[in-house]
Each structure stands twice: as C-alpha cells, then as structure tokens.
C-alpha cells in the first residue's frame, strides 16, 4: 500500500469518526487564539483553557495587554509552564501588533513567524483556525502518528508537514490537522498503540508485528 492509498484510507476513517472538529483552545478572535496557542507550548490544552479566562478578563486585545506588567501576566500564566519566556513574548508581540499592525493579527504565516514566541507551528495553527487559510500544522504528536501510519520517513517535523501536504488534498488540511490530533488522543496514544492497536495503524500496516520505533523530530 503506497502513501496515497494509506492517506485515502485514513481520511475515510477520520471523517467517519470526527464529522466536526471544534478548535480545542478556547478563544474569541485571532488575537486570543494566538495567545492561547503560544501558551500551549509544552502544556495541555485543558490547562490553557483554565488559565486564559483569567488572562483575557484582564486583557484580550494587544493594547490592553501591553498595559499589564510582566509580573501581572506571569502570575496568571505561570501554571502553563515556561512562564518567564511566555510572559516576555506576550508583551513583545502585543507591542509589535499595536505599533506595526494597528492591533490586528496578520493572516500571513511569514509575518506571524516574525513575532516573538511564534514559531512555524503556532503561525500555521493561527492562519488555519482563525482565518480558515489552508495549512497543516505539525507538532510532535502529528509527527509521531504520521510515522506510525507510514506517511513520512520521520526525519523532522518540516519534512513530515511536506509529506502530509503531498498526500492529502489542500481542501482537507485544516480539518485533518484537528482530526489527527483527536484520533491520537483517543485511539493512538504515545504509550498504548505503538503502531499495533488502533484501526488506522492496523489498516495501514496489516503485517506489522513489532512495536514501531519512532524517530525523534
């Protein structure tokens, strides 16, 4: 079974399992989504969703955010981890949005990547989920599943993103990104399936007998 055939089978299973794909991070607009995604680095969506209501009650626009002190932001977002780094990034990117973008979050990945604390994956999530622009954000979890399913050679997340974009149609990218995350959390977790248990793993690699060893990104 080649990659295109696997992709077709995977898409069928995911569309059957997840007809709707709600965005896991609570937000009201592109700015609050940007902040939520930034906070989600090395943190669970569940914890971020507990923290952001307290932060956004104080400030939910770039101009409001820059009126808060570093200490105020840090005291709120500390449970998300990497508090000092994330607090500085939130202040700096908010200041840039006010000064250079009239407080409007750009819908361009290249521009977003220039903001402090915003990497390619974060920028991809924002354009995908806030602006509905086709993108395929790949984090370590999607990278792991793409390896298990035989859709990538596993060199790095950049290569995985390229491989996934090659085998899935652009019109499916935004929904697929979330469907794969949901499937990984429910059926193909890091410490249970190992490429042997879930329906997608068995469908894509029916002859696999041993645990799949992942290549780190």
Q: Which residues are catalytic?
A: 121, 139
- Interatomic CA distance for residues 133 and 144, integer angstroms: 24
Contacts of residues 74-79 at CB distance under 8 Å and 24 or more positions apart, as own/partner, are 76/51, 77/39, 77/51, 79/47, 79/50, 79/51
Q: How far, in Å, CA of 91 to CA of 116, rounded?
A: 9
DSSP 78: G
Angle of the 70-77 helix axis to the 45-58 helix axis, nearest 10: 150
């Amino acid at each position: 079974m080649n990659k295109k055939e696997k992709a077709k089978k995977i898409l069928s299973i995911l569309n059957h399992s997840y007809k709707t794909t709600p965005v896991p991070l609570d937000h009201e607009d592109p700015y609050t989504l940007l902040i939520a995604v930034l906070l989600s680095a090395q943190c669970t969506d569940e914890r971020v969703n507990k923290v952001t209501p307290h932060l956004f009650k104080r400030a939910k626009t770039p101009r409001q955010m820059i009126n808060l002190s570093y200490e105020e932001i840090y005291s709120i977002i500390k449970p998300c981890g990497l508090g000092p780094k994330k607090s500085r990034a939130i202040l700096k990117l908010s200041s840039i949005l006010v000064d250079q973008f009239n407080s409007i979050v750009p819908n361009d990945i290249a521009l977003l990547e220039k903001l402090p604390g915003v990497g390619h994956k974060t920028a991809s999530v924002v354009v995908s989920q806030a602006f509905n622009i086709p993108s395929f954000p790949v984090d370590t979890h999607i990278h792991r599943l793409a390896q298990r399913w035989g859709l990538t050679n596993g060199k790095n997340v950049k290569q995985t993103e390229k491989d996934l974009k090659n085998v899935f149609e652009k019109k499916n990218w935004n929904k697929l990104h979330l469907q794969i995350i949901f499937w990984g959390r429910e059926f193909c977790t890091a410490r249970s399936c190992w490429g042997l248990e879930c329906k997608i793993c068995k469908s894509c690699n029916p002859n696999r007998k041993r645990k799949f060893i992942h290549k780190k990104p």
